[in-house]
Amino acid sequence: MRVPKCLRKKKSKTNDRRGKHTKADRANKAKRCTKIIMQNCRGCNSLLDQYTRTEEGDALVCTNCALVDDGICFEFETPMVSCGVHSNEYRHKNYFAERILQARDEEPRLTSKELDILSSIYDIYRLHCPTLWAEEYFTKKHAARICRLIVKYYPKSRFRRRLERWYQYRNYLCGRTGTELPLHVANALKVLFNVYSHFFSIYIKEMKLCRRNITQLDLVILVLLYNLGPKIIRAHGWYFLTYNILNKTQSTRLDMIRIKGVCRLINENILKAKPTNDIGQECYAWFRAGHRLKVPSLTTLINYSSTNPMAYAQILAYKGHDHLSHLSSLL
């Protein structure tokens, strides 16, 4: 039975927007979304970018002061608005900021539930092998074994991405030992890394390299620590010792060659180049004072970084039992 015409619902007319979307419309839509989801950084009060997050995606990273704000974790999905593609240099700085915050133990906190799970498995390992699983010898390799065991039985758990917070868990076990990276060293590293990241982009263009990822970040930080002074790399270089660096793999040797090329490019052109926002005035003042970036041999970097007692367990974990005699002599 047909409904009488007078009782039929009138269809609301909608504007036909097919083919009429413009860049201005998309920009206005992005601004409206930005007002909703953007908040200010707790450190420098600058605006936080919703698209600049940690690797886990559970916290935002300030692009100005590199503070990881774990208090801003949105439960809704980010709007499907294109905000432009960030440059490689932009991503390099974010990775660097995240790595420094891990060394400072200022990354987003593990939950109490996650700490309980890690502690229960750690207690089992320690019960069976108390010497190798002693608290003072706890390293990233121990945390990796615990996380792998959890992921094996619970593949959908977040522990696949919790390995980078191993130092936070170590401090939970042993308490703070005062070996965290100080703020003034972190700021000095940031000044030097900004110029390294800027000239690395120039280097890969001149060398016509296909890669866009920066050289091993831990290796770059060790070189920068060496340039800040021998005392600094002896005190804080241990955290950035990795398996590839300690075993001097082929990729590490190749990265050392590229780091030397970038540093040579910096030393030759830093005072000739036009001032940019990427390179701060503190960096220019450092070079005007007569300083130049020096790249020592890989063996020298390892020897300087291995003098800290925290490095002994790292060497034993990554180099194996052949270095037990070396470890005992250092102790």
Compute the CA torsion angle 163, 167, 172, 175 (nearest 10 deg). Answer: 170
State residue 281's pLDDT score: 86
Look at 73-77, 136-140, 141-145, 264-268 and tell me which has the smallest mean pLDDT: 73-77
CA distances in angstroms from 96 to 34, 93, 218, listed in the order given: 25, 5, 9
State residue 16's pLDDT score: 55
Is it the case that residue 114 has pLDDT exceeding 80? Answer: yes
The distance between the two most distant Cα atoms of the chain, rounded to a whole number of Å, is 98
Is it the case that residue 226 has pLDDT exceeding 90? Answer: yes
Q: What global pTM score does this model have?
A: 0.71
Which tops the pLDDT comparison, 75 or 245? 245
Cα gap 210→245, rounded to integer Å? 23
DSSP state of 12: P
**311 band by pLDDT with thresholds 50, 70 and 90:** confident
Does residue 68 contact residue 39 with C-beta atoms inside 8 Å? Answer: no
What residue has token string 């070079």? Answer: 287
Cα gap 189→192, rounded to integer Å? 5
**55 band by pLDDT with thresholds 50, 70 and 90:** low
Compute the CA torsion angle 244, 247, 253, 254 (nearest 10 deg). Answer: -40
Among 38-52, 78-92, 139-153, the range with the most confident prediction by mean pLDDT is 139-153
Is it the case that residue 8 has pLDDT exceeding 70? Answer: no
State residue 10's pLDDT score: 60
Sign of CA dihedral 277, 279, 283, 289: negative
DSSP state of 321: G
Among 18-32, 55-69, 112-126, 154-168, the range with the most confident prediction by mean pLDDT is 112-126
What is the number of residues in the chain? 331
Q: How high is the mean pLDDT of the chain? A: 79
Q: Is 146 left (phi over 0), alpha (psi -120 to 50) or beta?
A: alpha
Question: Torsions phi, psi of 73, nearest 5?
Answer: -125, 105
Average pLDDT score over residue span 74-100: 58
Is it the case that residue 261 has pLDDT exceeding 90? Answer: yes
Cα gap 4→254, rounded to integer Å? 81
State residue 154's pLDDT score: 87
> CB within 8 A of 4, min separation 6: which ones?
none
Look at 16-25, 54-63, 265-274, 321-330 and tell me which has the smallest mean pLDDT: 321-330
Does residue 267 contact residue 293 with C-beta atoms inside 8 Å? Answer: yes
* The two structure tokens encoding residue 150: 């959890």
* The two structure tokens encoding residue 16: 């036909």
* The two structure tokens encoding residue 108: 């987003």
